[in-house]
Chain A
Amino acid sequence: MAEPGPQRGWFVFGFRGFAEPRGGGARRVEPEPGGIRVVRPAWSYTGLVTGRGRLALRGWLAGALPGHCQDLLPSESHVLLLRGATLEAWARGKGLCAGPAWRWPLHPGEAAGPLPLAPGGYVTPRPPFLCPLPPALRARKLVLGHEHAALLGPAGTVYTWGCGRHGQLGHGGLEPVSEPRLVEALHGVPMGDVAAGGWHSVSVSEGGDLYVWGWNESGQLALPSKALAEKRPPAAASVSQPEEPGCGAGKAELKLVSHEAALGAEAVDFISIQAFPALLDLPAGSEVSKVSCGSRHTAAVTRKYGQLGHNETASSDQPRQVGYFPANGLTVEDVVCGPWNTYICAVEK
């Protein structure tokens, strides 16, 4: 008799857009026939690609969906789909419109992806949909923030461009950059992954070290945030936390945070904008395997025990273990952040 395979499923916590109830603790994502292969969250809805290549949209969106999909990029105005040998952008209204507003057939032999990478450049889920990139870059991965972009080159180099007003380009200043520019501060340390949040950027070295830069107004860089220090209540007892079952480790770390607040805000150097990449000291010397960024938060999966450490919007500038998964006998394998939520793929141990 064959052993049953490990139960693998997706969980989500945070803003659920327009489904009831809003916000709250971790919930299972309803499975799809064939399993959920790809999770791409937008703000008011999430796009899923099933193991059978079917596109499913959950949240504030309804209507007939085009079939046979490999990947998608959702935005509030459009859904950009990779279907077979074509890239298509469908305009959003209350449902999807009758046909694609934009199509880009791929030439034979051309492949797109991982999205947003496409032949000749990259795609965005809003006009002009296709942006060129210098071919010499040979990007492995490309990620988009609200007003900047970052890409991972073949040798593990990181390039950034766009608006730099919040330090998200990592070149040390606040000036905008129009073409992809090498992040010099990381040169020499090969990166394995890169992620972009609304106004911040994160990269993971091949050795599992986490580098952060950009805006820290909600503590998303896990660096001391003045705004949070001013909001923190003085007594450990009154520190609030979201409803997360089995948050034993989390509570202990919360106590630590309150103690530091008691030392006084003057004892700490607050960081509002980090214009050069900073190496993060994660608890217990964990190595990071995967990272993802939301609009104003960051989530990382650590290798050793599969813990998930994340910073919640407006409440913590300290990486905090999410106790839900070890408490329920689950190992975290992947994380994908939406703007205001976090999706986790976890498997029973």
Chain B
Amino acid sequence: MSRPSSPEGLATSSCPAADQVSAGNTMWADIRALLPNTKEDLKLDFSEKVEESVISLLQQARDLLYGAGSLCSGSTRETCLQVSEIIIDYSWEKLNIGTWRDVDKDWRRVYSYGCLFKVLCMCSEQGTIAETIRVCDMGLLMGASILDNILVRIINVLQKHLTYGKRSAEEDTKESCRKKIRNDHTTVPSIKSEEVIPRLHCPSLEHFRDNYMIPQKPVILEGIVDHWPCMKKWSLDYLRQIAGCRTVPVEVGSRYTDEEWSQTLMIVNDFIDQYIVNKNSIGYLAQHQLFDQIPELKQDICIPDYCSLGEGEEDNITINAWFGPEGTISPLHQDPQQNFLVQVIGRKYIRLYSPQESENLYPHETQILHNTSQVDVEDPDLVKFPKFERAAFQACILTPGQVLFIPVKYWHYVRSLDVSFSVSFWWL
């Protein structure tokens, strides 16, 4: 890509401020190289849902970015930052109106553009790399892809320039001694013979399809993920290294049906420190499309071959990460898609009830929780929920390397017995 010479192109001279530290110089140059050459190439096309007043702000930010001197002058950077904040704040409100499903994708793109312009203002000034990554992550978590997923590519550049203090080898051994992944002190529930879920080693596609997928019966598949890099590579240290400074959504509270339950955002390092290493309360990195946010981790997993038996496209498969300490609980609930639950680290106790048992499981009557049972599976109130006792179920302790097939709308309850990392694949 040749450097532009027209005045509408990005400033090619180095920013005076960044000259002070040569590292800052290359960082700004690397990030600049990711942007379109000219102002006209940075298209701001939106449906008429996005009001003209907002588009004029986006154009103003773009003009400042590509204008003479780029963002190197303190006052143009200050103005661009202000404009970016207004774009972010206004589109944030749009993202919070109605249900998330109904939010117009263009408003999520506007939000991402706001984050992009803010990030570019922050980059052209030294010293806030971790904060800049956080803003990129907000654009990824709440926005929608713009300019060929430019925010992910900007994070790649920023991460190279972020140096956190190297932990001493001594600290590492101390932590691993203090926190064995396998917890020998948890009471492991017993499973009766009639409740056992069948286990198969590398069944053929046809065998799985005919005996489990079509009749919609749960099964545990073994040996099918042994070659996935995650099985050997993933550890707390590895996750800190790859994703330590990345912002993720965390569920705080014992279970999502509790009143004190809430969701918050924090960086992975803090999540591991507060909820995995030092356990004062329950925090769960649950149901998050981590692998879209951090493509480097996606390289450590694959898509199970058996998903090809479904009717849907591979692009429509939703991959979620589930990472938390011992004791996280997902209350008994059902999902509208087939699920392959891949266990990577630690063990999980899982109970399954067929959709035919729904009447005995007392689903909540509200719209928000209609897919969730009111019953606490391991401590049921049989006075309030008498029919629960007669509901038939299957159970297992899912261990690393095993994959549980959960058919559509099959009720499932999950409790982690150790520090656990699972990857779920929702497919049709």
Mark A residues whose CB is within 8 Å of B. Answer: 15, 17-18, 22, 43-45, 60, 76-77, 92-94, 146-147, 163, 165, 173-176, 198-199, 272, 295-296, 339-340
Contacts and interface: CB of A to CB of B under 8 A. Distances in A.
Contacts of B52: 92-94
6 contacts: A43-B53, A76-B54, A146-B96, A174-B368, A175-B366, A296-B93
Q: How large is the interface on B (under 10, 10 to 19, 20 to 34, 35 or more residues)?
A: 10 to 19
A17 B53 CA distance: 9
A44 B53 contact: yes
Contacts of B93: 146, 198, 295-296, 339
B53 A175 contact: no
Nearest to A176: B367
B21 interface: no
B99 interface: yes
Contact of A60 (B56, B89, B98): B56
Interface string B72-89: 000000000010001001
Given A147-B98, A199-B96, A77 B51 contact: yes
Nearest to A22: B82
B357 to A, nearest CB: 26
Interface string B152-169: 000000000000000000
Contact of B53 (A18, A22, A173): A18
Nearest to A146: B97
Contacts of B241: none
Contacts of A176: 367
A296 B93 CA distance: 9
B53 A147 contact: no
A165 B367 CA distance: 11
Given A163-B97, A175-B366, 17 more contacts: A18-B53, A76-B53, A92-B51, A92-B52, A93-B52, A94-B52, A146-B97, A147-B98, A163-B98, A163-B99, A165-B99, A174-B366, A174-B368, A175-B368, A176-B367, A199-B96, A272-B262
Contacts of A296: 93
Nearest to B50: A76
Contact of A173 (B90, B99, B262, B366): B366
Interface string B19-54: 000000000000000000000000000000001111
A228 to B, nearest CB: 14
B367 A175 contact: yes
A43 B97 contact: no
Contacts of B98: 147, 163
Contacts of B262: 272
A60 B366 contact: no
Nearest to B90: A43
Contacts of B368: 174-175
B120 to A, nearest CB: 20
A335 to B, nearest CB: 21
Contacts of A93: 52
Contact of B51 (A15, A76, A175): A76
A270 to B, nearest CB: 9
A18 B56 CA distance: 10
A174 B261 CA distance: 15
Smallest CB-CB A-B distances: 8 pairs: A44-B53, A76-B51, A146-B97, A60-B53, A147-B97, A147-B98, A175-B366, A175-B367
A176 B90 CA distance: 24
A340 B88 CA distance: 14
Nearest to A162: B98
Contacts of A173: 366
Nearest to B94: A146
A204 to B, nearest CB: 25
A40 to B, nearest CB: 16
B300 to A, nearest CB: 33
